[in-house]
Structure 1
């Protein structure tokens, strides 16, 4: 199979974009892993597949695969790249695009200067819906990891996130602690882990250990979840600049029941073909 693709990134969180509308595409987990391999394939954090919608009221459907072959529900940086990709490939001329994902429908708004704004929907805070093993909803939960207890926020942005406050993200044990929390039994579908440093009420820094990937240079849903968790603790205002290793995202959230809006860049790197 000869596959046409585009390599893109959102703040360094990189993707292989595949158009499954104008070409025939059949990707097994083995082929996804081959695409994602940085030594013998194209190399990426995730593979995003553009499909025709099943819902007649939306414009596209898109599926999200981690480089390890697993399928996931949502990806904020990927959503921005998706919007630029379908515009650049002339699959649509719309500035406002409705997309169905495994996590529900997203609205993507293409702006000037490569910026894309995404309506990520209202965050999910009820533990059973995240899913997270807890009796009642709370701002934070004690989580025993190897005999040490950490207070974490638990939020779903269509995919589960644990958020830890740290004094300094540069020295936070992202790899070791992130891997331990990712597979914690209280998160039955595993979890993305955010390490959040609050600078003031409008600025924060974040590193994310992404489920099935490891630490990434940026994570859009992770930035949204971190902002929501911080706002629930009354640590930030309703709009926050979140600096990740790859760059900065603007996250806006008025409060419970309201949608989270994420704004940031999406960049095409190159177009290519690969034989699988």
Structure 2
């Protein structure tokens, strides 16, 4: 009798263990089904297109996982994706190029070989060159000369930033109070006359806007500092001459003020 009971207990225990094992396996299978097949960062192939991308987001919608690829707006089902290491079809190869632009619309620049001339950036483009044994990209900037609007193309290595787009117009306005002197195509007497006439006109315009001597001096000092900055950057004689002209104007203002106070 005891043996029969013992055998029954063993049999019941075996049945219980087998049932428990099936329950555990079922739970593991269900848990496995709840986990996404792919994770963020996986490189996958979109099988319908043969294109390669990275998983950038995983979403759980209506009981299924869907995947965002390369930050795109569309979502892909698991069945439409495959790890690139497991993919055996043909891939549609695409190249992603990251271009960093040094200058932008409205920036004020100097161009190598054009002396003190100022140019504004009005456009830019990228030229992509691919050969069997070599590859590179060229960024070409389209420019307009401030003085006469002449159009010019130049590469990044030929440009030097003078003022960004936000401050370019103000910079040009301040420099507009002074003219470039010593034009090599005109005789010295004419250059001196034109310079003096221009400064008389500029001074009148400046006085109309400022009305006060202090503001006039401050404006001329700003102009002097701008030209000094340009001279330190480019060592162009035109800027050095303009600095001397500003100093002469400041001396004239101070001397005239001293005479009027006597």
When normalised by structure 2's length, the TM-score is: 0.26
More helix by share: 2
Larger radius of gyration: 2
Higher RCO structure, 1 or 2 (CA under 8 Å, sep 6+): 1
Q: TM-score of the superposition, structure 1-length normalised?
A: 0.25
Which has the larger share of strand?
A: 1
